[in-house]
Amino acid sequence: MKYLLAVIGLVVTALCSADDKRTTQQDLIGAWRLVAIDVQGPNGREPDPFYGNGSRGLLIYDASGWFSVQIEGANRPPLKVPELRPTVTGSDSKVLHTYYAYFGTWSFDPATSTVTHHAKGALYPSEDAAIYPQRVVVVGRRMTFSRAQNGKTQTKVWERVSG
């Protein structure tokens, strides 16, 4: 009977420990592919106002504290690639409104499970020094960011890219 109680105690301890696993800074390091972006507003789920539905992207965290992220919305308008870098005007400017990229350094607060992006450069120059804190949880091969803003919560789900 003592043996059975000891085994049950070990199993319960192991299960509780598995449920209590907290995200660590090391969990974030690597390359991540965007799976989905979800926005919850006061009236329920809605498309993300910037990316829409069906976005794709890549996020990379390195161990030295640098990151890079690129996200593009679905249904981007076609734009012929010229020999020289184009000046984007008129209807072609929609291309800029369906793509987002920035890079910089990152920090992680394990007490709040918050990753903060400290932008050093961005597609939009006004965001070159932006600071973006987001709650982050890593479970298995999935990483989920959530950020509340203007009465809505945006959630991004990323999946670890295999090496």
Residue 143 belongs to domain spanning = 20-75+86-160
- Domain membership of residue 46 (yes or no) is yes
Residue 140 within any structural domain of the chain: yes
pLDDT score of 163: 61
Residue 2 lies in a domain: no
Structure tokens at 44: 């329920």
Instruction: Give φ, ψ of 156 to 5 degrees.
Output: -115, 130
Mean pLDDT of the chain: 83
Tally the domains of the chain. 1
Q: Is residue 13 part of a domain?
A: no
Q: What is the pLDDT of residue 155?
A: 94
Token pair 């961005």 is found at 122
Q: Is residue 70 part of a domain?
A: yes
Q: Is the pLDDT of residue 23 over 60?
A: yes
Task: Show Cβ contacts of residue 107 under 8 Å, excluding neighbours closer than 6 positions.
Answer: 65, 115, 116, 118
Residue 27's pLDDT is: 97
Query: Is residue 10 one of the residues assigned to a domain?
Result: no
pLDDT category of residue 11 using cuts at 50, 70 and 90:
very low
- Would you state the pLDDT for residue 8? 42
> Considering the domain boundaries, does residue 1 fall inside one?
no
- What pairs with residue 152 in β-bridges? 149
162 pLDDT more than 60 = yes
- Residues 29, 65: Cα–Cα separation, whole Å: 9
Task: Give the model confidence (pLDDT) of 85-132 as tens digits.
Answer: 656 666 555 556 677 899 999 999 999 999 999 999 998 888 999 999
- Residue 46 sits in a domain of what CATH number? 2.40.128.280
- In a domain? residue 134: yes
The alpha carbons of the chain give a radius of gyration, in whole angstroms, of 20
